[in-house]
Amino acid sequence: MRVAGAATRKKRAAAGVDEAPDPAALLAWYKRHRRHLPWRYAPGERADPYHVWLSEIMLQQTTVKAVGPYYAKFLARWSNVNALATAPLDDVLKAWAGLGYYARARNLHACALAVAGQHGGHFPDTEDGLRTLPGIGGYTAAAIAAIAFGRRAVAIDGNIERVIARLYAIEAELPAAKTEIRARAETLVPLHRAGDFTQAMMDLGATICTPKKPACAICPWMEVCKARARGDAETFPRKATKVEGRLRHGASFVVTRADGYVLIRTRPAKGLLGGMTEVPTTAWTHALDDADALAQAPLKLKWRRLPGVVEHGFTHFPLQQAVYVARAPARTKAPTGMRWVALAELHGEALPNVMRKVIAFAGLGGRP
């Protein structure tokens, strides 16, 4: 494909002809300016499907900076999908602890089992085949198909969504705009180098076409971007007013034993934070007073409520937790469904971020 010159673009604009973004211009920009990420292969190289899949699952609703150390840790421990499939789920959850959105870790393990057990350790090489696997939805299937297998697939993440919405100045609000965004994106994906094109689009959104103060002057598609021509790129994509979930309250009980142990338990496998580790905690409700909370304490001890609350934001609601602390005699037995773990070993448990905050708030040696 050939990039049209400035004179040609001006003639088309004067004639009222819309010029389509040129994939070749973006690929040329990507060759010079691509991000060097741990899971990235050089332009034109075919990536390892396991690496692509692992990175894409970790990157869901999580920043590149946060994912980097976890990606390296997983690869060092489980170098391929068969190795991950043989790992106990609890080990996977422990390795994932702190990365958030823990259903991803459970799906990661389930997917590894499916690939190893049903596909001989090889990922399907089509979107349809990939979508049959646990935890792989439309975007992830398209990303793996394009990047790992060179398929002409349309993968649309938040960065690509923003780029397309601005290129065409799409007025519809999200999520209604997704249909038009996808239709527009489908016209741009080249027959060859679909994986490089997908990653180039991601990089364009992450480094140039950013949510605030986009660097339009150095964008390879600046001449054909309608939002740039209008001067209101930051207003795209259009978004409906976000309705924040209603505040919930809870209480956590941090009890240490005189011989250096702390009481914990494992959350149910299904539901929010399924299979993760926590200190005994009440349900998270819209109203909770001290009397209600203390009635749910795991042991009959002299409990002391710490001043203040622990705040944490989940996707659909904000949470405030009161924290109660107590001391138990050495060798006190754990209540049914709970267990004691040595304080020195607490950091190795599958603690979600909200529990890490609680433990730090209780003064147990900072965030494990």
Residue 283: its pLDDT value, please? 94
| Same-domain status, 114 and 225 | yes
Structural domain span for residue 283: 248-361
d(Cα 209, Cα 202) in Å, to the nearest integer? 10
Whether residue 167 lies inside any domain: the answer is: yes
Residue 12: its pLDDT value, please? 42
Residue 45: its pLDDT value, please? 83
| Same-domain status, 174 and 56 | yes
Whether residue 162 lies inside any domain: the answer is: yes
Q: What is the CATH number of the domain that holds 349?
A: 3.90.79.10
169 alpha-carbon distance from chain centroid: 27
Whether residue 147 lies inside any domain: the answer is: yes
Whether the Cβ atoms of residue 276 and residue 102 lie closer than 8 Å to each other = yes
Residue 367: its pLDDT value, please? 39
Residue 365: its pLDDT value, please? 58
Concatenating the DSSP letter of every residue in 68-97 gives: HHHHHHHHHH--SHHHHHHS-HHHHHHHHT
Tokens of 97: 């602890």
Query: Which tens digits make up the pLDDT trace of 292-347?
Result: 999 999 999 999 999 999 999 998 899 999 999 999 999 999 999 999 999 999 98
Whether residue 36 lies inside any domain: the answer is: yes
Whether residue 94 lies inside any domain: the answer is: yes
Residues in the chain: 368
| Same-domain status, 100 and 216 | yes
Concatenating the DSSP letter of every residue in 220-251 gives: TTGGG-HHHHHT-GGG-S-BPPP-PPPPEEEE
**The domain boundary residue, chosen from 212, 235, 258:** 235
| The one catalytic residue among 19, 45, 56, 180 | 56
In the chain, the number of structural domains is 2
Whether residue 241 lies inside any domain: the answer is: no
Write the CA distances from 252 to 5, 170, 297, 304, 359, integer angstroms. 64, 46, 9, 11, 9
| Same-domain status, 119 and 209 | yes
Whether residue 367 lies inside any domain: the answer is: no
d(Cα 275, Cα 287) in Å, to the nearest integer? 26
**The domain boundary residue, chosen from 201, 235, 269:** 235
| Same-domain status, 192 and 313 | no
| Same-domain status, 16 and 148 | yes
Whether residue 19 lies inside any domain: the answer is: yes
| Same-domain status, 317 and 253 | yes
| Same-domain status, 19 and 82 | yes
| Same-domain status, 317 and 343 | yes
Residue 5: its pLDDT value, please? 46
Q: What is the CATH number of the domain that holds 170?
A: 1.10.340.30
Query: Which tens digits make up the pLDDT trace of 258-270?
Result: 999 999 999 998 8
Contacts of 307 (CB under 8 A, 6+ apart): none
| Same-domain status, 259 and 228 | no
Mean pLDDT of the chain: 92
Residue 315: its pLDDT value, please? 84
d(Cα 275, Cα 97) in Å, to the nearest integer? 11
**Cis omega (within 30 of 0) for bond into 237:** yes
| Same-domain status, 228 and 288 | no
Catalytic-residue membership of 278? no
| Same-domain status, 217 and 253 | no
How many DSSP H helices and E strands does the chain contain? 15, 7
- The stretches in the chain having pLDDT less than 70 are 1-18, 365-368
Residue 230: its pLDDT value, please? 94
**The domain boundary residue, chosen from 235, 270, 303:** 235
**Residue 194 CB coordination number (10 Å):** 22
